[in-house]
A = this chain, B = another copy of it.
Amino acid sequence: MARRLTQQDIARMAGVSQTTVSLVLNNRADSEVRISPETRQRVLRVIRETGYIADPAARRLAEGRNRILGVFTYEAVFPATSADFYHPFLVGIEECAEEVGCDLLLFTSARVTGQRRRIFNEDSRVRLADGCVLLGRTVDRDDLARLIADQIPFVSVGRRDDAGGPVPYVGADYVAATRALVERAARLGHRRLVYVGTGEGAESTADRFTGFQAAVTGLGVESVQVRPDRPGLLEAVRATGAGAAFFEEQADAVVFMQAAAEGGLAVPEDLSVVTLGSATRPVRTDTDFAGFLIPRREMGRRAVELLTKVLETGGTPQELLPCELIEGSTLIGR
């Protein structure tokens, strides 16, 4: 097995010292340090010819940084079930990482403990990267607290509640987006709305409910809540007498539409339907729902941007990106 090339090897080939190779590599041109153009070129040529690349572990150990950004996901990234969910984020992350000249390390090695992955296992490689981006519908609170306590630079994609301290994140502004949709319904004359969803669990879910309630209260509109998993959902929604239904989860709306068609409920003539963001669970539908788009790609990009900023100057950035509203065809006046 061929030993990995080291700066020492390059130095030998170029007839200089390891120090010189390091200096050339890091493009140091301070007044402190001088390398003649010829020597520099000679070293660079050997490096080019051999395709030498610095060992990230050694570099990290010596310098303290890597130009490697870790990406941690709580579920496997690629499998089809979650691919649709992660994909847009990854596109954004990848784009921005390329721009800032960082490589991406997918922490696929994190073993699944119980049902999900955990960041800190026996030998977590999190510290191999300069910092990392956290991705997942929900994030383990203990992991977050540990990251904060250990002062590991990271940015969460998706807003997170405090976990032993403020969590750096870039999220989507579900509160504002949901409020805007409620306001639109109100402008169209709706006086009674039904919220179909749990309103609890992950922050993203809670935010939708928060926005809904705030808007409803502010506008003096009547509202009721219905759990999406209850049997006879169609009848339950019908019984509320609401003119518009707000679905926390698009997948539930898709199922509902099917039931409505079978049950003789016309959408949007009899009932308007609004979905609060694109589906997290993949569903196929032809319905052009009124709702909003989660700026997933932008979130990915921004997370990397913020992470590099954190690495440079520290801090705990918290940002919410606006969601684009979708006109759709399922919300009409009454």
Q: Which A residues fall within an 8 A CB radius of B? A: 1-2, 4-5, 48, 50-61, 64, 66-68, 76-80, 83, 87, 90-91, 94-95, 97-98, 101-112, 120, 122-128, 150-153, 311, 314
Contacts and interface: CB of A to CB of B under 8 A. Distances in A.
A125 B112 CA distance: 28
5 smallest CB-CB distances across A and B, nearest first, come from A2-B151, A57-B60, A53-B127, A104-B106, A97-B108
Given A101-B111, A107-B103, A95 B123 contact: no
Contacts of A2: 150-152
Given A90-B78, A103-B107, A151-B1, A127 B97 contact: no
A47 to B, nearest CB: 9
Residue of A48, A61, A97, A311 ringed by the most chain B CB atoms within 10 A: A61
B76 A80 contact: no
B123 A94 contact: no
A301 to B, nearest CB: 12
Given A68-B105, A98-B109, A56 B123 contact: yes
Contacts of A112: 98
A4 B50 CA distance: 35
A216 B54 CA distance: 52
Contacts of A51: 120, 124, 126-127, 150
Given A98-B112, A108-B103, A127 B61 contact: no
A78 B68 contact: no
A22 to B, nearest CB: 13
A53 B87 contact: no
A150 B57 CA distance: 16
Contacts of A52: 127
Contacts of A314: 1
A116 to B, nearest CB: 13
Residue of A1, A64, A97 ringed by the most chain B CB atoms within 10 A: A1
Given A51-B120, A98-B108, A127 B4 contact: yes
Given A1-B314, A51-B120, A151-B2, A109 B127 contact: no
A108 B300 CA distance: 14
A78 B87 CA distance: 7
Contacts of A91: 76, 78-80
Contact of A61 (B5, B48, B61): B61
Contacts of A126: 51, 53, 56
A51 to B, nearest CB: 5
Contacts of A101: 109, 111
B87 A83 contact: yes
Contacts of A1: 151, 153, 311, 314
